[in-house]
Amino acid sequence: MSEKRQHLPTVRLRRLAAELRRLRAASGLTREDVSSKKGINEATLYRIEKARTRPQKRTLIALLDLYEATEEQRSDLLAVQSGSTDQGWLRPYHSELPEEYTAYIGFEAEARTVRNYESLFIPGLAQTESYAHAVIKGVWAAATSKEVEQRVQARMERQALLTKDQPLQLWAIVDEAAIRRTVGGPTVMREQVRHLLQLTESPHITFQVIPFDKGAHAGMPGSFVHMDFPDPADPELVYLDTPAGDLFLESEAEIRRYKSMFEHLQAGALAPNDSADLLAMVVATRD
């Protein structure tokens, strides 16, 4: 595994970074202040606070001393630091996937709830293998066969989160366009919509559709994923997959904005039972 891969952000590393940012702000110190008082390079401190690198133990202790952390905070953050590089979710072939995508897989694997809005695609956690293959090949036109297969394999492995003993809670909302567009041909799409219909029977999966006749709605600017985690101390996360690159948003203002957006989408979409009826109708028209 490359050095770059070793420093992929993890949930624990993000928690450490968020708490160090909070403690510095509570102390009324700028990064420049910290650098002058403790001799820590400003660029290094920036990377620590953005979860881009794990602080050495002596650096963390120096920061906790400066911020006058309580014994409880000190004990908790030192414990987080000692285990913040755990990436047991990585598979050997993940080193060939984009760095941001492997980070996303890791966050998703540790999440409690995923709220996913998609305007044009079936959510990755709900895709059949045939649909995933068709959509990845169609969107990523320059990809080699090997690259397509790696993406498909990763997507199928992610779906194990929905069937584990304590399954991931998934709330997915899609625009009607996602279930109407014929991706991979009629047979592939019929199989895909049937699969969605089966998933709606799972108590930990909620699926809603925003019908065409709803008109303009809050999700039209684009798709997004909002995650929260079992431990309330772990900061929530929003993920955006854009043509310009993948983005992870974690400021309180950004989280509030996307949570509000998802709530508007929930209110504007068909109820889960009505969404299932629409899926059944789509299946019937494709038979």
Of 37, 60, 83, the residue that ends a domain is: 83
Indicate if 105 and 71 belong to the same structural domain: no
Indicate if 279 and 235 belong to the same structural domain: yes
State yes or no: pLDDT of 28 exceeds 80.
Answer: yes
Indicate if 265 and 134 belong to the same structural domain: yes
Indicate if 118 and 174 belong to the same structural domain: yes
Residue 233's pLDDT is 75
Indicate if 76 and 110 belong to the same structural domain: no
- Could you read off the pLDDT of 110-165 as tens digits, one per residue? 899 999 999 999 999 999 999 999 999 999 889 899 999 999 999 999 999 999 99
Indicate if 270 and 216 belong to the same structural domain: yes
Q: How far apart are CA 61 and CA 201, in angstroms?
A: 50
How many domains does the chain divide into? 2
The whole-model pTM stands at 0.77
Residue 220's pLDDT is 94
* Of the listed ranges 45-54, 183-192, 206-215, the one predicted with least confidence: 45-54
Is pLDDT larger for residue 234 or for residue 224? 224
Of 26, 54, 83, the residue that ends a domain is: 83
202 conformational bin, left if phi > 0, alpha if psi -120 to 50, beta if neither:
beta
Indicate if 175 and 130 belong to the same structural domain: yes
Q: What is the CATH number of the domain that holds 67?
A: 1.10.260.40
Q: What is the CATH number of the domain that holds 159?
A: 3.30.870
Locate tokens 């504007």: which residue? Answer: 268
Quick one: how far is CA 265 from the chain centroid? Answer: 18
Indicate if 276 and 147 belong to the same structural domain: yes
Name the burial class of residue 127, with classes exposed (0-12), middle (13-18) and buried (19+) by CB atoms within 10 angstroms of its CB.
Answer: buried
Alpha helices in 140-287 (DSSP H): 145-158, 176-180, 186-199, 252-268, 272-286
**Range of 257's domain?**
92-286
pLDDT band at 259 (very low <50, low <70, confident <90, very high): very high
Indicate if 156 and 243 belong to the same structural domain: yes
Of 83, 104, 130, the residue that ends a domain is: 83
Indicate if 149 and 242 belong to the same structural domain: yes
28 conformational bin, left if phi > 0, alpha if psi -120 to 50, beta if neither:
left
Q: How far apart are CA 158 and CA 144, in angstroms?
A: 21
CA-based angle 130:131:136, to the nearest 5? 105
